[in-house]
Structure 1
Amino acid sequence: MKPTLVILAAGMASRYGSMKQIQSFGPDGETIMDYSIYDAIRAGFGKVVFIIREEFAEQFKAIFEPKLQGRIATDYVYQALSSFTNGRNIPADRTKPWGTAHALLCCKGKVNEPFAVINADDFYGKDAFAKAYTFLTTQCNEHTYCIIGYHLKNTLSDNGTVSRGVCEVSADGNLTDINERTKIFARAAEGDIVYEENEQLTVLPANSLVSMNYLCFAPGYINLAEDLFEKFLDEQGQELKSEFYIPTVTKHFVQSGKGVVKVIPTSSQWFGVTYKEDAPGVQASINALVAAGEYPASLWK
């Protein structure tokens, strides 16, 4: 059975205003998501599942169905605030759903094979998809998951600080811990990378492996997320801004002894639009890849 690619896209409407305003970066108007799907197809993935908000479904399908028809199977999952809350009272002022692990939980019944999950608006690169496909088809099981790890130096922005999940990795390449570090930036004068916390600067090795939300799981991960979501709602469900994250479930999987999460390094350069000023750089980077022959000038023609 071919693996599935799950794309977290439920938050895109709030960032872009509407689905029709997804920013174009490629020479023929391609979005970042187009490049991820193209890389997934050539790596060997058999299906793509989009997690979106139901109110944007028709607009979304109108954009992606014509170009993907006949190339890869597609399916859709709708993430809503009430999904899997089992009749609990939700704070009246809360409008956003419950985060990335809740989004994956909404795939229950739709994804029943090994799968990778990515963000819609991050550019991950060809090598990352090849590594993910190999893992999903040769090593992935209910006791062995993986994170595609990016070297920290390949994930920074020139236009401000970034937040990254910094992985602690054992000698045999397995995740032992993952810590969210905020306010990471490069210091040109010192030639190093630091993060700021409590007004203190701490140096991070440039080759530290970080999670960019590219992870590979067996379908049992969704059941684990469901169990932990119940606990999350009991403890944090009345907080207006609480979120149930994929790294939280992944960390529990490791530290409760349920299995191992391999951290598989990729040589790919990550691109993303953390700040609006990042957009020209992303476009230039994609154009350079096209010029080098990594991608055709038009992905879908």
Structure 2
Amino acid sequence: MRNSAELTLVIMAAGMGSRFGGDKQLANLGPNGETMLELSLQSAYKAGFRRSVLVIRPELESTLSAQLAEVMPADFDYHFCYQKLDDLPVTVDISHRSKPWGTAHALYAARHLVEGPLAVINADDYYGDSAFTALVNGLSATDDWLMVAYPLNRTLSEFGGVNRGVCQVADEQLTSVAEWLDIRQESAVLKGELDGQRLEISKDAPVSMTCWGFKANIFPMLESALAEFANTSAHLEKSECFLPTVVQSAIDKGQVVRIAVAQDNWLGVTYPEDASWVKQKLMELAGE
């Protein structure tokens, strides 16, 4: 049996990349042709992670397994699990559905492979070394949950507006996350849409980029949330159960979620045009 105190990095890698036009988790964007997934695993290893669970689509396993076997040290343990439509706490009709049920469902898929504290990230984002150090330190020091936030201006795209979960923080604890849409530079200020209104937003506002630290008590909360979701929304063609929604519900019930702010830029590819820009930024970070 594994040490229950062992940290596990859960990586959500089952996305389709519809706006990008392909599987972003397989795109070679690093300075030496690495994928974002490989760069994140390298950062995680440096911070102290020795175990990962990758939530994927079945058709990605052979490619990812071959890639990771080449680049990861022998003492790093990784496992694959599938985000399957019929893997829900209750039985639902899935005949109308081809898209997975969202990020809460992705994490739920890893429940049989995780026993102790865990971190959660996206496979197709670059988080930088400081995020993984913050996750290890935070998960090792407290029984609270953790979110690594980024200043908004470090997460923008030069090629279009972005949606971001903007965090409300009190006493270094997350109190709420509000979804802002189409955030972009307009003249000298940043503006985004909140509740149907176009509003100015601070460039330093902390935002959630799916970089979480949890304890094992997240899984019964996911099960409860997915059961409710299945009974109320699974019949809708594009409905999803989002991880931040589950976190907000837990906060409302008294769960403490501490905030750490990353010291690196977050990089991600939302649009095809982002790829060249991200490649250039990663080469600059590597000093090339």
What TM-score comes out, normalization by structure 2 length? 0.93
268-277 or 59-68: which moved more?
A: 59-68
Contact 1:127 1:267 in 2 (8 A): yes
Aligned mate of 1:89, from 87, 93, 107: 93
Q: How does 1:69-148 map to 2 (within 5 A)?
A: 69-90=73-94, 92-139=95-142, 141=143, 144-148=144-148
2:155 corresponds in structure 1 to: 155
Whole-Å Cα distance in 2 between the matches of residues 196 and 180 of structure 1? 9
Are 1:45 and 2:41 matched, yes or no? no
Q: Deviations over 1:65-101 (max 9, x none)?
A: 23225041111111111112533222x2211110010
1:178 corresponds in structure 2 to: 177
Whole-Å Cα distance in 2 between the matches of residues 219 and 197 of structure 1? 33
Matching residue's letter, 1:61: S
Matched positions, count = 283
Whole-Å Cα distance in 1 between the matches of residues 118 and 269 of structure 2? 25
Matching residue's letter, 2:178: N
- Secondary structure, aligned partner of 2:200: strand
Q: Deviations over 1:155-193 (max 9, x none)?
A: 1111100000000111x1111111111110122x32x21
Contact 1:2 1:44 in 2 (8 A): no
Gaps of 5+ in 1: 293-301
Q: Deviations over 1:37-91 (max 9, x none)?
A: 000000001201100012332232122223225041111111111112533222x
Q: Deviations over 1:210-264 (max 9, x none)?
A: 000000000110111001110111111111111011101000000122x111121
What TM-score comes out, normalization by structure 1 length? 0.89
State the superposition RMSD in angstroms: 1.8
- Secondary structure, aligned partner of 1:135: helix
Identity of counterpart residues, as a percentage?
A: 35
Whole-Å Cα distance in 2 between the matches of residues 31 and 161 of structure 1? 24
Are 1:2 and 2:6 matched, yes or no? yes
Question: Which runs of structure 1 show a deviation greater than 4 angstroms over 4 or more consecutive aligned residues?
Answer: 12-19
Gaps of 5+ in 2: none
Whole-Å Cα distance in 2 between the matches of residues 157 and 138 of structure 1? 34
* CA drift at 1:4: 1.1
Whole-Å Cα distance in 2 between the matches of residues 222 and 199 of structure 1? 33
Q: How does 1:207-286 map to 2 (within 5 A)?
A: 207-257=204-254, 259-286=255-282
Aligned mate of 1:62, from 62, 66, 82: 66
Whole-Å Cα distance in 1 between the matches of residues 16 and 119 of structure 2? 19
Contact 2:9 2:120 in 1 (8 A): yes
